[in-house]
Chains A and B, each alone.
Chain A
Amino acid sequence: MEKSSEIRITPELLDHLCELAKLKLTEDEKKAFLRDLNRILEYFSVIDEIEVGDVEPAFHVLGLSNVMRDDEVGGERLAHEEALENAPHGEEGYIKAPRMV
């Protein structure tokens, strides 16, 4: 397994990440990002110095658990107009999104 310090974001990986994150970058941005992101990754590799072994990951930092609510209607229901008021496009009460294909 490669050490973190040897991991690099390649142009192909960057394209893949942009697709996962749905972010369209310009060519200039891609060039700059390849440089910046790899420098940051290099900094992150400092965590290679330390072994974490079987430590339990911190899910909630204070160790809170079992927070649940009753099954009763309430809360902050939105009126139909409120639900739609910030949507750029709507039709017959639906929110409009781009086509699927």
Chain B
Amino acid sequence: MNATSALKVRIGLECHCQITSLKTKLFCRCPADYRGKPPNTNVCPTCLGLPGSLPYLNKRAVEEAIKVALALNCKINKKMVFYRKNYFYPDLSKNFQISQYDYPLAVDGWVKINVEGVEKTVRIRRVHIEEDPGRLVYRGGIGASPYTLVDYNRMGVALLEVVTEPDLGSPSEAKAFLQELRSILEHLEVSDGSLEGSMRCDANISIEGGSRVEVKNISSFKEVERALSYEIIRQRNLLRRGAQVRRETRHWDEVRGITVALRVKEEEMDYRYFPEPDLVPIEITDELIEKIRAQLPELPAARRSRLVEQYGLTEYEARVLTSDKQLADFFEELVSVHGKPKVDCSLVINELLRLLNEKGLEVRDLRFTPLEVAELLRMVDEGLISWKSAKYVLRKMVETGEHPKKIVEVEGVRRIADVEEIERYVDVVFKRCEGDVREALKDPKVIHRLVGEVLKETRMLADPKITFQVVSRRIEQLKLASQKEK
């Protein structure tokens, strides 16, 4: 075994999550909802950085941030001060970003993750609030574009920065952490992870014996596993060759699937942090913290315990459900109308989730509700259709949004349980398979072959038990008839 693959990997994440529950931006009253708007139509003097403009803090942003800090088990600071992070960049309308430095919102928290049954605690170093920059657009890629186009619609939207200690030991642990973080934010209804660009991430990776490398520009949580896997391989290869891993900042190129070193100068950035003189310190009282704590909704960890206890689910099943709040909500609603937890859970995590992943959809994209699924499952309960047919109908529901009863009618997947109907199919098969019928008179085992033929004839829709009974009775009748003749 190669020595370098035994070396420990240490990964720390810096996650930027938009507070999408807000109506307005962090420091001005422009709408927070910028997606889909034509460029530079969602701005005011403050977020455009016009001379003389001033910031004014959104109170709800602080409250939402406190919710997150509590959910991450952090210690909330009594005094919170905004700082200026000074650097030039075309997406910053003031060429500084209002962020936090020495007096962040919260520090020293933790989150428990579970990777393939193994539980691990990830420490949270800090949580703070800052503003989002604007967006840059290039004509033909960043390298080829003769100029840069800037849209300030997003400038000033509220961001939460969550920084972990380098406790993550692999890309899958990182993925599990981000999944749990996203689920927590969604259960809190603070951030909607399905919105494009709402959750971004930078990573710090080092391998024992090597320097720390920062990887920036990971555009979504989904990209993190890819980026980290690549970077670890890159670093391992260097160490294997006896080369040094340089301490540097690298850029994740999503298209080419590699990390690229940035210009050396950018690593020596001195942000000259100092307290934002246009804002005043925020004192966070115990009363406010307790008021918010009392109103916290059920978090994923608590929900998992409850799902296990209330519905008898396994820990694995509970974990899969709570990895996505919408999925867990769907399941609980389904169970409340259908009432069969194990079956309902199986449908949701084995069938529905698979379909969603296959088609790249979110639960909220579905054009039906748990009520329709309950109706589908009742048809199975009543024996009207088979479980296999139900899976097929569910797929059709996802694809067309049609009501399950209608699909069953149209597709003709209704299980055939009517004896008379089955008799007709038996007639057809007996006529076709005269040889098998004569054999069956002597050898009862051949009856199964005949049953198989009937089932095939009905496209597997005939109820196998009833079919067996009908075929057996017929064979019996035929036996009796032939004996009489003798």
Contact = CB atoms under 8 A, between A and B. Distances in A.
Chains A and B share a contact (CB less than 8 Å)? yes
Contact of A66 (B143, B270, B283): B283
Interface residues of B, number: 48
Interface stretch (A24-32, A38-46, A71-79): A71-79
Nearest to B41: A80
A53 to B, nearest CB: 18
Contact of A94 (B29, B61, B137, B265): B137
Given A60-B281, A95-B149, A100-B145, A75 B28 contact: yes
B347 interface: no
A71 B45 contact: no
B281 A84 contact: no
B58 A97 contact: no
A95 B283 contact: no
Interface string B46-75: 101000000011111110000000000000
Nearest to B263: A101
A49 interface: no
A22 B31 CA distance: 32
A69 B56 contact: yes
A71 B138 CA distance: 33
B142 A66 contact: no
How many chain A residues sit at the interface, stated as a range, is 35 or more
Nearest to B271: A20
Q: Choose among A57, A65, A75 the residue with the greatest number of B CB atoms under 10 Å from its CB.
A: A75
B24 interface: yes
Contact of B48 (A69, A71, A78): A78
Interface string A52-66: 000001011000111
Contacts of A83: 40-41, 43, 48, 152
B81 A59 contact: yes
A73 B24 contact: yes
A68 interface: yes
B148 interface: yes
A92 interface: yes
B44 A71 contact: no
B143 A98 contact: no
Contacts of A93: 38-41, 151
Nearest to A22: B88
Contacts of A89: 147
B150 interface: yes
A99 B45 CA distance: 25
* Top-5 shortest CB links A-B: A75-B29, A94-B149, A68-B59, A71-B60, A97-B90
Interface of B: 22-24, 28-31, 38-41, 43-46, 48, 56-62, 81, 88, 90, 136-138, 142-143, 145-152, 265, 270, 272, 275, 279-283
6 contacts: A69-B29, A72-B23, A73-B24, A80-B40, A83-B41, A93-B39
